[in-house]
Amino acid sequence: MAKAIMVFTSMTGNTEEMAEAIAEGVRQQGIELEVKEVLDATAAELEQYDGILLGAYTWGDGELPDDFLDFYDELDEVDLTGKKAAVFGSCDSSYEKYGAAVDILIEKLQERGAEVVLEGLKVELTPTDEDKELCEKFGRDFAKQLQL
């Protein structure tokens, strides 16, 4: 059976709400999922899983949150070839670059050899009930990709 890990960070709780809904969707498909906040995870751990979900809000004018910087740098030391991955995050359209953290993480995962199997999921600020349903579907869709 496929195993997946989710590593995320959240400052206001928006990305955490997304993470919870996505995790629910993954588990509905029978996939074993480990969920960790980024400060409790290392990039090397990703090599032990078939699937990788990363979640981060976009900080400032389009940067990764400070919490994610060390983890991001550690990604340069891992080989994610053969791993399936997806990225999500809460965003704020008042900034010029919408959800840039999601794009930055997708690019890094691809650079390290992972196959990004879903388009990055970006939700405007606090997830609505409809957004949470989208997140759950995102989790189910990701799990289905692991079962192929």
| Residue numbers of the domain that contains 70 | 3-146
Per-residue pLDDT tens over the stretch 63-89: 999 999 999 999 999 999 999 999 999
Spatial separation of the C-alpha atoms in residues 11 and 34, rounded to whole Å:
20
Of 76, 61, 64, 86, residue with least CA distance to 142:
86
Length of the chain, in residues? 148
Per-residue pLDDT tens over the stretch 83-136: 999 999 999 998 889 999 999 999 999 999 999 999 999 999 999 999 999 999
Spatial separation of the C-alpha atoms in residues 81 and 90, rounded to whole Å:
27
Q: What share of the chain is helix, strand, coil (3-state, %, to 5)?
A: 45, 20, 35
The pTM of the full predicted model, rounded to 2 decimals, is 0.98
In this structure, what CATH number is given to the domain that contains residue 135?
A: 3.40.50.360
Tokens read off for 10: 């959240």
Q: Could you give the number of structural domains in the chain?
A: 1
